Structure 1
Amino acid sequence: MTTDFKSLPVIDISPLLLKCDDPDMTENPGVVEVVRQLDRACRDAGFFYVTGHGISEDLIKKVREITREFFKLPYEEKLKIKMTPEVGYRGYQRIGENVTKGTPDMHEAIDCYREFKQGKYGDIGKVMEGLNQWPENPQEFKELLEEYVKLCLDLSRKILRGIALACGGSPYEFEGKIAGEPFWVMRLIGYPGAPLTNGHPENDIGCGAHTDYGLLTLVNQDDDKTALQVRNLSGDWISAIPIPGSFVCNIGDMLKILSNGVYESTLHRVINNSPRYRVCVAFFYETNFDAVVEPLDICKQKYPAVTGSQVFKKAVYGEHLVSKVQTNFAILLHFKFILNDTNSAFRAAAAPSGIWIRY
């Protein structure tokens, strides 16, 4: 039975990583314990902290700092890698250009996606064709982030082997046709400090409530600002207080489908009430772009009680992603929002030309 949570579980996954390529990994007591913890976390919260993941804390910090350096650049410099449909929706988004459920979010970002050959995924893939736009300044930005992506890909694959075991399948259940060639998304996000009212910061909706729609997300957030919130079964918002050196992990909609609804993709949001700028780097590990996602046979056999649930609907990941991306951009093209004059001059300066924003 799923229980409500008041805090997010912390899982040391080092035993899993140590034995992840061992054919006898399921017989290792350390792996068995990690799998048990992953199963409970995915059922109860859909969120958990990961420690013992093997990616150095220095690199994790460096990724945030070089991201912060970029967002400190003059606005005109950032626009050199401006996101447009012509470049496959890759590059820099101004404040308010990301939309959650029709409302612009109070952050700026760089969006990157796995690159693939032109025509590989037919007509549906054309929307996402393009090369990632990397800034020339700061120096080493591209090299550092590409190294980081490789490490996150490897870590996500290994965590999912543990989750596959938790589902009752083999460690490789999510590989092959499901995620043998995983698509990935990386968002480097900057949240301006919240405006002050009578000397006190307001609550800013950095990103509205949503679920992620892939398999697994790794969140690398500033150590000294609490903004990410997760909603529990009672409807309470639980803060994901930063733990230095850790990743906050959460599962997405595709994994909910694959698990036959047993694992939950949980609503979460970002509410920034700090007057200081916040940086977060989110890495999304997805299925194959053209994967047809439906409940795993092992999950349907193990958890027949959810028969008739909406999770039985099939989803083609690439179609789902393209729909999300195009819908968000269409909103920006066709709607105007009112800019509250109590916001800072920085927000007004960063607002898209010709688009008024309500925060």
Structure 2
Amino acid sequence: MATDFKSIPLIDVSPLLAKWDDPRMSEDPGVAEVVRQLNQACRVAGFFYVKDHGIPDSLIKEVRTVSHKFFGLSYEEKLKIKLTPTSGYSCRGYQSVGENITKGVPDMHEAIDCYREVTQGMYGDLGRTMEGCNLWPRDPANMKALMEEYVNLCTDLSRKIMRGIALALGGLPNEFEGERAGDPFWVLRIIGYPGVSTTNGHATSENDIGCGAHTDYGLLTLVNQDDGITALQVKNSSGEWISAPPVPGTFVCNIGDMLKIWSNGLYNSTLHRVVNNSPKFRVCVAYFFEPNYDVGVEPLDFCVKKTGGVKKFERAVYGEHLVSKVKTNFVM
């Protein structure tokens, strides 16, 4: 579980990326050092920065620039891709400030929610809630193509980081591939946090919080946040909120609920929230690397052995976990 960490560690993952497909990658000294750092970060904080990750900084910045352009449009224009329950239940599209709910409290942000597209019958009844295509605006015209390229690169990077995490847990590099996360689901949230006006002062109550305290649902999250605005906060075991300020050229990464279960609690999904006390509008683009949608998740045998021989968590189906969260996240 998360301990009394005071800062978020930064990890250079380039040695891991250089050897990720080498059958003997675990024997490489550079990879071994990355694995050691991943293990320490996941045990202590559940959060870490990654640098030298291979995704061009120009693309990372353009993703935020295009997001700013969208959020700068008129309300009427943004509503053209409004998240609405058009047929059954829809979870894709734009939501305005206060429409996302965390533990019953409206969040002070607006967002576009995107998910891996699900065709009719793709996952049977389990996938019905998530069926559909993502909604993209006509303006900015390049938003759809840019975000799809970005998702592909984030998916590839996440697979490679998960190979390091598998080794860190004591498993094989491909532990989270195949039936576990070889055909991963993904989620992309493009989020805009209004700045604080001088009349309102600083955020001091739950109603001022950009996104309330929560854990993430899946395996690994890559957070791309605006430079120069510190808003992301991570809770340590003493209940202190530790800031995760933007570090140019990095992603903030954190682990999710499904990895907590698979690791039998060796790694915990840590509570975090967003409080934008800046007068500037803040953009954050969060990519979530998830397990296979229909996989059953239960503690891995070698993790159970390392934690006293008792399974601490019941089996969960990732798609059921996701839908249970999604259905309580929006004001419709």
Q: Indicate conservation of the 8 Å contact 2:203/2:275, yes or no.
A: no
In structure 2, the partner of 1:17 is: 17
1:215 corresponds to 2:216: no
Q: Report the CA distance shift for 1:29/1:205 in structure 2 as closer, same or farther (over 3 A).
A: same
In structure 2, the partner of 1:294 is: 298
State the TM-score, normalizing by the size of structure 2.
0.96
Aligned-partner residue type, residue 98 of structure 2: G
In structure 2, the partner of 1:322 is: 323
**Whole-Å Cα distance in 2 between the matches of residues 16 and 272 of structure 1?**
34
**Whole-Å Cα distance in 1 between the matches of residues 283 and 2 of structure 2?**
33
Of residues 221, 239, 242 in structure 1, which corresponds to 2:243? 239
How many residues get paired? 327
| Structure 2, unpaired ranges of 5+ | none
1:176 corresponds to 2:171: no
1:96 corresponds to 2:80: no
Q: How does 1:155-194 map to 2 (within 5 A)?
A: 155-194=157-196
CA drift of 1:2 comes to: 7.0
**Whole-Å Cα distance in 1 between the matches of residues 116 and 190 of structure 2?**
15
Q: Indicate conservation of the 8 Å contact 2:2/2:236, yes or no.
A: no
In structure 2, the partner of 1:62 is: 62
**Whole-Å Cα distance in 2 between the matches of residues 86 and 147 of structure 1?**
28
In structure 1, the partner of 2:40 is: 40
Q: Indicate conservation of the 8 Å contact 1:251/1:265, yes or no.
A: yes
Of residues 73, 96, 115 in structure 1, which corresponds to 2:117? 115
**Whole-Å Cα distance in 1 between the matches of residues 194 and 275 of structure 2?**
11
CA drift of 1:302 comes to: 2.3
Q: Indicate conservation of the 8 Å contact 2:185/2:290, yes or no.
A: yes
CA drift of 1:327 comes to: 1.9
The one-character-per-residue Cα deviations of 1:264-316 (angstroms, maximum 9, x if unpaired) are 100000011011100000000000110100011121122226x253xx21110
CA drift of 1:235 comes to: 0.9
CA drift of 1:234 comes to: 1.1
CA drift of 1:324 comes to: 1.0
State the TM-score, normalizing by the size of structure 1.
0.89
Q: Indicate conservation of the 8 Å contact 2:118/2:127, yes or no.
A: no
* 2:280 partner SS: coil
In structure 2, the partner of 1:195 is: 197
The one-character-per-residue Cα deviations of 1:2-40 (angstroms, maximum 9, x if unpaired) are 752100000000000000011110110000000000000
1:264 corresponds to 2:268: yes
Q: Report the CA distance shift for 1:85/1:177 in structure 2 as closer, same or farther (over 3 A).
A: farther
CA drift of 1:201 comes to: 4.0
The one-character-per-residue Cα deviations of 1:175-221 (angstroms, maximum 9, x if unpaired) are 111111000000000001113237x4445300000000100000000
* 2:321 partner SS: helix
Q: Report the CA distance shift for 1:129/1:62 in structure 2 as closer, same or farther (over 3 A).
A: same
Please provide the CA RMSD for this pair: 1.4
Aligned-partner residue type, residue 59 of structure 2: L
The one-character-per-residue Cα deviations of 1:22-77 (angstroms, maximum 9, x if unpaired) are 11101100000000000000000000000010011111010000000000001111
**Whole-Å Cα distance in 2 between the matches of residues 73 and 53 of structure 1?**
32
**Whole-Å Cα distance in 2 between the matches of residues 291 and 195 of structure 1?**
45
CA drift of 1:124 comes to: 2.1
CA drift of 1:120 comes to: 1.2
| Structure 1, unpaired ranges of 5+ | 334-359
Q: Indicate conservation of the 8 Å contact 1:10/1:49, yes or no.
A: yes
**Whole-Å Cα distance in 2 between the matches of residues 195 and 212 of structure 1?**
29
The one-character-per-residue Cα deviations of 1:76-111 (angstroms, maximum 9, x if unpaired) are 110111112337311101111110000000000000
Q: Indicate conservation of the 8 Å contact 1:47/1:250, yes or no.
A: yes
CA drift of 1:326 comes to: 1.2
Q: Report the CA distance shift for 1:202/1:301 in structure 2 as closer, same or farther (over 3 A).
A: closer
1:133 corresponds to 2:127: no
Q: Percent identity?
A: 69
Q: How does 1:275-354 map to 2 (within 5 A)?
A: 275-304=279-308, 307=310, 309=312, 312-329=313-330, 332-333=331-332
Q: Indicate conservation of the 8 Å contact 2:120/2:128, yes or no.
A: yes
Q: Indicate conservation of the 8 Å contact 2:7/2:242, yes or no.
A: yes
The one-character-per-residue Cα deviations of 1:240-283 (angstroms, maximum 9, x if unpaired) are 01100100000000000000101010000001101110000000
* 1:284 partner SS: strand
**Whole-Å Cα distance in 2 between the matches of residues 183 and 139 of structure 1?**
26
Of residues 218, 224, 227 in structure 1, which corresponds to 2:231? 227
* 1:163 partner SS: helix
In structure 1, the partner of 2:277 is: 273
1:50 corresponds to 2:50: yes
Q: Indicate conservation of the 8 Å contact 1:85/1:127, yes or no.
A: no
**Whole-Å Cα distance in 2 between the matches of residues 313 and 114 of structure 1?**
26
* 2:4 partner SS: coil
